[in-house]
Amino acid sequence: MSPDNFYDMVYQVVRLIPAGRVTSYGAIANAIGTRGRTSRMVGYALKHAGSVHPQVPAHRVVNSQGLLTGKFHFGGSTMEQLLASEGVMVTDNKIVDFKKVFWDPATEL
């Protein structure tokens, strides 16, 4: 791997997210070391993720509120189904017990 760009770094971190767990854009940015300043770039990268890297669990990445902000870009309600399959309950586009399923790359990694 050559994490020369933010994109690659984001892909790596997202791929490290265990099933049944989720993380936030800010957390990923924090893990990379840019802390929130690149939070938007993280979402941008995830958008590319589905086209560049195979199976990057972008559905496990939500915003700081646990809201499935990117579900619309993912392809409808596919995101909820995937999370539900992993044991993550999603209600009204937001993750239930977000704090319980929250996985911090900077801490766990």
Partner DNA sequence: CACTTGACGATAG
Partner DNA sequence: GCTATCGCCAAGT
Q: Does 12 bind DNA (CB under 7 A)?
A: no
> By C-alpha distance, which of 58, 45, 54, 48 is closest to 9?
45
Applying the rule CB under 7 A, the residues between 58 and 87 that interact with DNA are: 58, 61, 63-65, 69-71, 73-74
Answer for which of 15, 16, 20, 47 binds DNA (CB under 7 A) is 47
Query: Candidates 1-9, 80-88, 89-97, 98-106 — which segment interacts with DNA by CB under 7 A?
Result: 1-9
How far apart CA 54 and CA 103 sit, in angstroms, is: 21
Binding-residue pattern over the window 20 to 39 for DNA, x denoting contact by CB under 7 A: ----xxx-------x-xxxx
CB of 93 to DNA, least distance (A): 11
CA gyration radius, the chain: 13
- CA 84 → CA 22, 53, 60, 90, distances in Å? 12, 23, 11, 7
CB of 82 to DNA, least distance (A): 11
Contact 30, 36 (CB under 8 A): yes
